[in-house]
A and B are shown apart, each in its own frame.
Chain A
Amino acid sequence: MLDRAIHAVIALGCLPLLWIFYLVLVREIHGKCLARFPGIAKVGQQVLVYGLVGAIILSVVTVQPDLHAENHDGALGVLYVTAAHRVITGGVTLFLLLLTVILNWFPVPTSNNTILHTTFSFFFFLSMTVAHLYRNLSGKMFTSGVNLGIMAVSTICLAGWGFLLQPKGEVVVATESTPHEETSWILAQMEALNRALLRGVK
């Protein structure tokens, strides 16, 4: 049987690796949604960098209740690590929400798999955030229940990823759009519109 202390060190030590994988996952979803289009290359990159950093900063700003919960009776190290985990998952959740807002605003064609992947990821990270926040606020006695909840949601998400993502879902269903040659003239005038708007602002 593994010693509890060793188990804790391994479990907590693996978390930073997990955080890196989370960020890789976000990068992958972003790549599937925005990075495919050269026309919005720069803005897509800005969304990834500023959006993710902004979401994590927002998540950090809300970490106070986790750290100063009255009911908390666990080890301080565990508290800090679970709070950091909550910050990362919260930041990723916010970023996925932002990405969905952008997809609603901009007519980016997305595959069924991408939408499903984003949905499972969102609920996976949201449940992690809620569970860790609840655990941090309510104390060690709820750890077992919270872990059970996380495992249940993770299993559902894994099943979804395993069974619902299919090769035919990779096909990007193009939204009703006009061929490039028929709309390219719009770009010619956007520059002038841009200048006019800037003048209007001044």
Chain B
Amino acid sequence: MIYFPFVVGAVGSIIFLVLLSRLSSGARRGSRRGESFDPEWFETFSAFRYLPMRRLLNGNDEAYLQGQNLGCRMSLRAFRAERRQLFRIYLEDLRSDFYRLSLGAKQAILNSADDHSHHVETLLSLEWRFQKTLWRAKAGLVLHACGWSVSDASDLIDVLQHFEFSLREAYLAQNESAV
């Protein structure tokens, strides 16, 4: 009990220093790879690029491979590992793109002369929904490594597409009015 205050102090200090180092390095969410939101990037961006994720872990290709009798047991394991590796790469890019879109929305809110506080709540709930599906996808990867076939990344792609399409609609409308 006597050491409890020092434990509180040490834990508090560590949490604060971690947050501070992230703040100082500018490594906030959405710009982890030094990428900020810009309209040029948004013009070329499409959530459709993540559609292949839908079939990476769902087992159809494995079943096909087994049906063709091309690989031994070992190569099937390697095949599954490779699919997981690909899925992880896609997942990291998808996460990065989502937070890049989110960063754009946050900057727009921050730069606005009018109060848009209710949009902060919207973003918060959207990010929370995305984060939950991201955790589910990561848990799915672990299950896949244990030999289970798991659901695909449809939920994640849906959230990203929903966000992208919403922004795209306004972006196109603005461009049309500018023309």
Question: Which residues 7-62 in B have Cβ within 8 Å of A in the complex?
Answer: 8-9, 12-13, 15-16, 19-20, 22-24, 26, 28-31, 36-39
A105 to B24, CA, bound (A): 13
A177 to B108, CA, bound (A): 9
Does B112 contact A187, Cβ atoms closer than 8 Å? yes
Does B109 contact A130, Cβ atoms closer than 8 Å? no
Does B39 contact A188, Cβ atoms closer than 8 Å? no
Per the CB 8 Å criterion, the residue count for chain B at the interface is 58
A84 close to B (CB within 8 Å):
no
Question: Which bucket holds chain A's interface residue count?
Answer: 35 or more
In the complex, chain B residues whose CB is within 8 Å of the CB of A43? 117, 120-121
Least distance between B97 CB and chain A CB atoms (Å): 15
Least distance between B161 CB and chain A CB atoms (Å): 12
In the complex, chain B residues whose CB is within 8 Å of the CB of A130? 5-6, 8-9
In the complex, chain A residues whose CB is within 8 Å of the CB of B22? 104
Question: Which residues 98-149 in A have Cβ within 8 Å of B in the complex?
Answer: 100-101, 103-108, 110, 115, 119, 122-123, 126-127, 129-131, 133-134, 137-138
Does B15 contact A97, Cβ atoms closer than 8 Å? yes
Does A194 contact B16, Cβ atoms closer than 8 Å? no
In the complex, chain A residues whose CB is within 8 Å of the CB of B109? 39-40, 187, 190
Does A180 contact B105, Cβ atoms closer than 8 Å? no
In the complex, chain B residues whose CB is within 8 Å of the CB of A40? 109-110, 115-117, 120
Does A133 contact B8, Cβ atoms closer than 8 Å? yes
Question: Which of A100, A134, A185 touches B23 (beta carbons < 8 Å)?
Answer: A100
B contact residues vs A (CB 8 Å cutoff): 1-2, 4-6, 8-9, 12-13, 15-16, 19-20, 22-24, 26, 28-31, 36-39, 103-123, 125-126, 129, 162-163, 166-167, 169-171, 173-174
Can you list 19 A-B contacts with CB-CB less than 8 angstroms, sorted by A residue number? A40-B116, A100-B19, A104-B19, A104-B28, A105-B28, A106-B110, A119-B16, A123-B13, A126-B13, A133-B4, A178-B38, A179-B111, A180-B111, A182-B38, A185-B173, A185-B174, A187-B109, A187-B116, A188-B173
